[in-house]
């Protein structure tokens, strides 16, 4: 067993004839949170989709916990332990908060038992208060908490998040930050978070990876490189 939970090597991906990711190498270490940053359109979302299997790579390899992900469709990748909080949240509007959370349980595969884990309501108490409300009636902040809670219900070992603070008020941003730090520190969860809001990720992430033009141009530890310096380099 290596220290890397996810090993990406020489990954390329795109849309039709246009290539978006070029020869991406990235290792995510177990129990660490990595911020994936870069300007709009550099390919961050595409990289998350290539990991999740909702966009297929045209070249390169993806190994998760030692297993080749390439032949696995998205639902098998979810059952293997990859959770995804997509941009735009994709809450089921007709289902209640509790039912939305329960949809996340199917990603568990053989891991975990019982219903929605209680710690999700400890992390996001508001979800318990509104558990009977339809997803379509939630505020943006509530939807984001629900999207994260639903991914956590699958008890993933790797959690992918696409711009979780987008359009979210500061008190909910703080809760999201505390929740991500908590699942990393107590459950040893590995996290890859795409973010434009560098102050947020620099507060809790361990590592960062900066992309430009579909390539990783810099990687390091957030404790060693100031956010402002990295932001300047990748022109955020």
Ligand X SMILES: Nc1ncnc2c1ncn2[C@@H]1O[C@H](COP(=O)(O)OP(=O)(O)OP(=O)(O)O)[C@@H](O)[C@H]1O
**Segments of the chain assigned E as strands:** 4-15, 18-29, 33-37, 59-64, 67-68, 82-85, 158-162, 190-194, 207-212, 215-221
Q: Should residue 50 be labelled a site residue for ligand X when binding is judged by CB under 6 A?
A: no
Shortest Cβ distance from residue 14 to ligand X (Å)? 7
Helix (H, G, I), strand (E, B) or coil at 90: coil
Nearest-approach distance from CB 147 to ligand X, in angstroms: 16
Whichever of 42 and 127 has its CB closer to ligand X, that residue is 42
Stretch that binds ligand X, among 44-52, 70-78, 109-117, 123-131 (CB under 6 A): 44-52
Interface with ligand X: number of residues (CB under 6 A): 10
44 near ligand X (CB under 6 A): yes
- In the complex, least distance from residue 133 CB atom to ligand X, rounded to whole angstroms: 29
Give the C-alpha separation, 153 to 138, whole Å: 19
> Which of positions 14-43 make contact with ligand X (CB under 6 A)?
15, 20, 38, 40-43
164 binds ligand X (CB under 6 A): no
Nearest distance, CB of residue 19 and ligand X, angstroms:
9
Q: Residue 216, interface with ligand X (CB under 6 A)?
A: no
Q: Is 154 in the site for ligand X (CB under 6 A)?
A: no
Query: Residues 6 or more apart from 49 whose CB is under 8 A from it?
Result: 13, 55
Closer to ligand X by CB, 124 or 202: give it.
Answer: 202
Q: Answer yes or no: are the C-beta atoms of 141 and 111 closer than 8 Å.
A: no
Phi, psi of 52 (to 5 degrees): -75, -20
Q: How far is the CB of 149 from ligand X (least distance, A)?
A: 23
Rg (CA), the chain: 17
| Contact present, 182 and 124 (Cβ < 8 Å) | no
CB 81 within 8 A of CB 111: yes
In the complex, the residues that contact ligand X under the rule CB under 6 A are 15, 20, 38, 40-46
């Amino acid at each position: 067993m290596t220290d890397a939970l996810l090993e990406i090597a020489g990954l390329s991906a795109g849309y039709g004839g246009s290539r978006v990711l070029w020869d991406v190498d990235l290792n995510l270490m177990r129990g660490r949170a990595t911020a994936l940053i870069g300007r709009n359109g550099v390919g961050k979302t595409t990289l998350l989709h290539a990991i999740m299997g909702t966009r297929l790579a045209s070249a390169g390899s993806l190994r998760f916990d030692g297993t080749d992900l390439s032949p696995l469709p998205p639902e098998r990748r979810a059952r293997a332990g990859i959770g995804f909080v997509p941009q735009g949240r994709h809450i089921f509007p007709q289902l209640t908060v509790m039912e939305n959370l329960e949809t996340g349980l199917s990603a568990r595969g053989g891991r975990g038992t019982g219903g929605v884990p209680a710690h999700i309501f400890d992390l996001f108490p508001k979800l318990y208060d509104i558990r009977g409300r339809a997803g379509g009636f939630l505020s943006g902040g509530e939807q984001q908490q629900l999207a994260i809670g639903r991914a956590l219900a699958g008890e993933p070992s790797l959690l992918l998040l696409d711009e979780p603070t987008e359009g979210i008020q500061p008190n909910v941003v703080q809760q999201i930050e505390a929740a991500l730090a908590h699942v990393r520190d107590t459950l040893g969860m590995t996290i890859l978070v795409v973010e434009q809001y560098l102050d947020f990720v620099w507060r809790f992430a361990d590592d960062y990876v900066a992309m430009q033009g579909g390539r990783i141009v810099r990687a390091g530890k957030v404790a060693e490189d100031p956010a402002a310096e990295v932001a300047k380099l990748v022109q955020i």
